[in-house]
Amino acid sequence: MNLSKFPRLRCGHWPTPLEPMPRLSEHLGGPELWVKRDDCTGLSTGGNKTRKLEFLVADAIDKKADVIITQGATQSNHARQTAALCAKVGIECQILLEDRTGFEDFDYKLNGNVLLDRLHGAKVSQRPGGADMQAEMESLAESLAKQGRRPYVIPGGGSNPIGALGYVNAALELTTQLNEMNLDATHLVLATGSSGTHAGLIAGLSILNSPLKVVGFGVRAPKEKQEQMVYDLACKTAALLGHEGIVDRQSVFADCDYVGSGYGLPTPAMVEAVTLLAQTEGLLFDPVYTGKGLSGMIDWIRKGKFNATDKIVFLHTGGSAALFGYPETFGLPGYSDS
């Protein structure tokens, strides 16, 4: 695959670590668990969006943009990393945040990622839940263009074929690490939301003809919709790289039974999973994406859906800053007892 023909800003810390999780594995009675640390990408507390933004912001610069517009939920990891990279390269950033939870407490609305958005200098505005966020961005872009500005719109999560190139590259990086470590991994597990990370991995692994099975745990959409989004974007991404038709629909799988009441809304299983990981491996997962993905993986292990001989890599997509928007959720002293 030839990624060098696409503009790219090399701002991340690559490769990210691939580490064992022996205490979690032991606690669960197997199988062998590993974590791909994309929380260590180096941009504003890290996260998976850095990989996508290296290509997206480079494309914006190539197109002479002077303002970048993007959107996400209130505690959006993507918004935070976009604001950070815009600050790094000196481009104005405007962020539209959709209220998908209805939470009104101070920590959720102004702490965590929202605090960092503003600290990075982004212009932040709110939209109600259910708003057509793509239309909202396009309207803002049109207004700015009439003022003589040159806006560049990045979709939520950075999930388009250009953004997904970041995870095609990640598939190559992970494959190289597995080969160098002589680690015969059987599964790659991740939380799947706006679909760009999942789709990029599927496209990249398909091009590499990798036997690694990808298991996505959905955090928002129903199974059929989630899988179709991932498949469509994986196909477009592979085609962009000159490999049209290589993605097999059967390679796309999402279990969406761990979403709970909705996107960003805590579940008891997520709280248990995040707490367990923090207290066995010293790792921080977020309550919206990795926490629910981890809860799904743990439940699969307990139900015997993975074999004891499997070797599983969990993709840590970052987002721990969002924990500061959910302090009461984890029943910590000073919050739940107040």
Which residues are catalytic, by number? 76
Beta bridge partners of 126: 97
Contact call for residues 173 and 197 (beta carbons, < 8 A): no
Q: How far apart are CA 244 and CA 190, in angstroms?
A: 25
Q: How far apart (Å, rounded) are the C-alpha atoms in residues 166 and 164? A: 5
- For the record, the structure tokens of 144 come out as 């700015």
Counting runs of H as helices and runs of E as strands, what totals does the chain give?
Answer: 11, 10
Cis peptide before 17 (omega within 30 of 0): no
- For 169, other C-beta atoms within 10 Å of its C-beta total 22
d(CA 113, CA 119): 10
Spatial distance between the Cα atoms of 36 and 15, rounded to a whole number of angstroms? 10
Tokens of residue 99, six digits: 């209220």
Looking up tokens 């700015």 gives 144
